[in-house]
Each structure stands twice: as structure tokens, then as C-alpha cells.
Amino acid sequence: MSWLEVPADHPFGLHNLPYGSFRTGGESRFRVGVAVGDHVLDVGTVAADLLPARAALFDDGDLDRLLAAGPAAWHHVRAAVTGWLADDGVRDVVERALHPLALVELRMPFSVADFVDFYASEHHATNIGRMFRPDSEPLTPNWKHLPIGYHGRAGTVVVSGTSVIRPCGQRRTPEGEVVFGPSTRLDLEAEVGFVVGAGSTIGSPVPRAAFADHVFGVCLVNDWSARDLQAWEYVPLGPFLGKSFATSVSPWVVPLAALSAARGTPPTREPRPLPYLDDTDDDEQWGLDLTMQVRLNGHLVSSPPFRTMYWTAAQQLAHLTANGACLRPGDLFASGTVSGPEPGQRGSLIELSWGGKEPIELPDGTIRSFLEDGDEVVITATAPGPDGTIVGFGEVRGTVAPAREQP
Ligand code: MN
């Protein structure tokens, strides 16, 4: 119970408490905030009074210091915030640090160190394989043996609300001519992102069991993709300029600790993967029951189910460090496009329009195969919380701006 009235079914209920970086109107300085109901709690200001031992973690106004501080600090701060909201005795101090959510400006909540993007939906990988390589098996021979991924571009990860400029690049036309210009097949990818807090030592792989010691929380990701650039450039080294122009993330990072009720068993893997990836006999696996929503210009076009993902984030973490690569605070790795088995569960337009062969009609009568200038994409998600509650992730929103003139 809390002195703060928050409806039990609020996506930012007392059991969620996601972290972000905010400022109120007219302020120059950003502060660390925890979303609770329709408010943002200025956690640093309250910590200065009520949790002085941890108050310095919030001095920079972003999550960087908290991420680096590791799991003991994360749990200490979360327990403290939960306690403040339950304790009538500190109500005055805490209430003064609450700001209406609708009136704050949010920014990128942490400094992205490295960005990695995976490809973990069997349905998405199968659909893409059918379209990009129609004459071969849709899944490559390695797909069920390792979580395929690529290293992306941390510097172009942007927060929700940032416009995405249509990229220019090389593509090959259907007639076989190679040209340079604005992408004509700009797409969205609905994904879930995992934010690394505690780093690791180079040379020392991070096993699945240490997942929660390193990963702080979860956000939503839109991995904007220029399919025409991608199709021309990706052989043999994988995605490059077709992906690196922009990746949008939601402004709130939901702590792993809020997702205990959302954990579940991932799909059965056949063949069984190698031991460092085989979670069959783990006490607790890291399947997560998020349901996502993709809206284009306000219309719901897809509801991807994250629980259908073939590889879990714990397996992805084990794999991306299996060669001794180290983790740093602020590393972000994304799941890969989330697509379920049903057509209405596909997390990209290239799948929803089947490569442009079957354009989708929106309820307002407009037709889309890929994104047009001015289009707005909003991705949201919820997961089950404890005792029948809901854990909301907020949204990742972006509007397509026209391509810039080339020099
Ligand atoms: Mn992607």
C-alpha cells in the first residue's frame, strides 16, 4: 500500500518503477526520475535526504552511475523507493519531489556504450529468409545453433520522439542499376532492448546464470531499417548503413526486478544448443511474456508476442561474451525484430506487406508497403506484473523526416 494513489492496473504502478532522465519546464538540468503512476519522482533529491549513501549515483542526472554501481546498489535503491512510497512518515519529503509526468521532458536515459542487435525470432528470420533468399532454406544452417547478431552503432541510438531522417545510400534497382539516393524501402523493427549495468572483464565470458548480475533492465527499441540499402550491402558482412542511421529507444528503463511475474519458459529448441547456450535445465529461464503493439499513424498494425522468441536475452548475453568480449556499463543489446507466427504479429513492414507485394491498408484508407515521409511509428508493450498487475514499458515514438539534400 502507498499514500500515493495509483490504480492497481496502471502500467507505471508501484511494482514497476522504471528509471529515466527528465527535466521540468524551463530547467536546464536533467535529473534521474522514477515513473510512478502519472508522476515522476525526482529520486536524487529524495535520496539526498533519505538515502545519502547512494545519493551520488544520481548526480549526473542520468542512469550512468547507477548502472555501473551494480546489482547490490540497484536493489538497495529500488527497495528504498518502494519504502518511501509506502511510508507515511516521509510523505512530505517525497511528495515535494513528484512532478506530473505529462509536464516533463525526457531524454536519452543513459550513455550507450556498445550496441548489438540480434535476430532471435524464428518467425521473423524465416520470413526474411524467404524474401531475401527465395532459392535456399529460409533459416541459415547456423541459426538454431547460435543467436545471430551484429555490432551496431551506439552513437546513433536516439530517444523516443527524435525525428528519423530518411537515409540516403546505395541500392540496386529491380533493373540491376546501382544508384545513390533516398531509401525507398524504409522500415521499422519492433524490438526489446536489454541495458547492461555492471561490466565484465575482457577474457571472461558471462554465463547465463549471471544475467541478472549484469543486466539492469529493459526498454523498447525501434531498429529503423532501410531494406533497399540492406539488401545490396549485407553480403558477406551483414548489416551496415542500412541500419546505422538511427535506432530509437523508449525513455524508461524497466528494472529486471519488475519482471519476475513475466518470466517464463521459452520455446523448445531442437536441436539442443551447445552447453553454454543450453538453458533446458536452468532453474529459471529468461523467456519474457511481453506483448507489443505497433502503431502506424495511430493505427494498430501488429501485436508481436515476445514470448515466442527462440533465444532468450540470457543466452544472447552468454553468446556475445563467449569469446571473451567484455561488457561495459551502458551496453545495449536488442532482441531482433519480434514476430509471432500469425500475420498480425509481424514486427516489421517488410513482413506485414510481404516485401511490398501485399501492401497493407490502414483504417483511414491509406496504403503502405514501407514508411513515407511524415509517417509516425509508435511501439508500446506490456507484461504481466505481480498479483495480476501490469508492467508498462511506455513507448518508443518516431516520425520520418524527408531525406536531406546530398552534397
Ligand atoms: Mn533489428
The amino acid sitting at 226 is: A
The C-alpha cell that represents 10 in the structure block: 496502471
Q: Tell me the whole-structure pTM to 2 decimals.
A: 0.98
- Phi and psi angles of residue 72, each rounded to the nearest 5 degrees, phi first: -65, -40
Ligand 1 geometric centre to CA of 243 (Å): 8
* Sequence-separated (6 or more) residues with CB below 8 Å from residue 233: 169, 170, 239, 240, 241, 242
Pick the closest to residue 69 from 199, 225, 168 (CA basis): 199
Ligand 1 geometric centre to CA of 83 (Å): 38
Cα(first)–Cα(last) distance of the chain, in Å? 60
- Phi and psi angles of residue 158, each rounded to the nearest 5 degrees, phi first: -125, 155
Ligand 1 geometric centre to CA of 118 (Å): 7
pLDDT on residue 381:
98
Bridge partners of residue 311, in order along the sequence: none
Fold equal for 19-107 and 115-401: no
Ligand 1 geometric centre to CA of 337 (Å): 5
pLDDT on residue 256:
98
pLDDT on residue 1:
74
- Phi and psi angles of residue 189, each rounded to the nearest 5 degrees, phi first: -135, 120
Ligand 1 geometric centre to CA of 335 (Å): 7
pLDDT on residue 99:
98
pLDDT on residue 87:
97
What are the residue ranges spanned by the domains of the chain?
19-107, 115-401
Angstrom distance (rounded) from CA 403 to CA 228: 15
Grouped pLDDT means (10 residues each) for the chain, 407 residues? 92 98 94 98 98 98 98 98 98 98 98 98 96 92 97 98 98 96 98 98 98 98 98 95 98 98 96 97 95 98 98 98 98 98 97 97 97 98 97 98 85
pLDDT on residue 95:
97
* Sequence-separated (6 or more) residues with CB below 8 Å from residue 200: 206, 214, 321, 326, 327
Angstrom distance (rounded) from CA 286 to CA 40: 29
Bridge partners of residue 215, in order along the sequence: 196
Bridge partners of residue 144, in order along the sequence: none
Q: Is 85 in contact with 268 (CB distance < 8 Å)? A: no
3-state SS, residue 122: helix
Ligand 1 geometric centre to CA of 117 (Å): 6
* Sequence-separated (6 or more) residues with CB below 8 Å from residue 119: 125, 147, 148, 149, 336, 337
The C-alpha cell that represents 54 in the structure block: 547512494
Angstrom distance (rounded) from CA 136 to CA 144: 16
Q: Which residue has the cell 532471435?
A: 120
Please identify every residue annotated as catalytic.
124
Distances (CA, A) of 17 to 302, 357, 385: 27, 43, 12
Answer yes or no: CATH 3.90.850.10 is held by domain 115-401: yes
pLDDT on residue 407:
62
Ligand 1 geometric centre to CA of 1 (Å): 40
CA angle 220, 242, 357 (to 5 degrees): 90
Determine the topology of domain 19-107 in CATH: SH3 type barrels. (2.30.30)
Ligand 1 geometric centre to CA of 322 (Å): 21
Q: Is 120 in contact with 147 (CB distance < 8 Å)? A: yes
pLDDT on residue 146:
98
Angstrom distance (rounded) from CA 157 to CA 104: 21
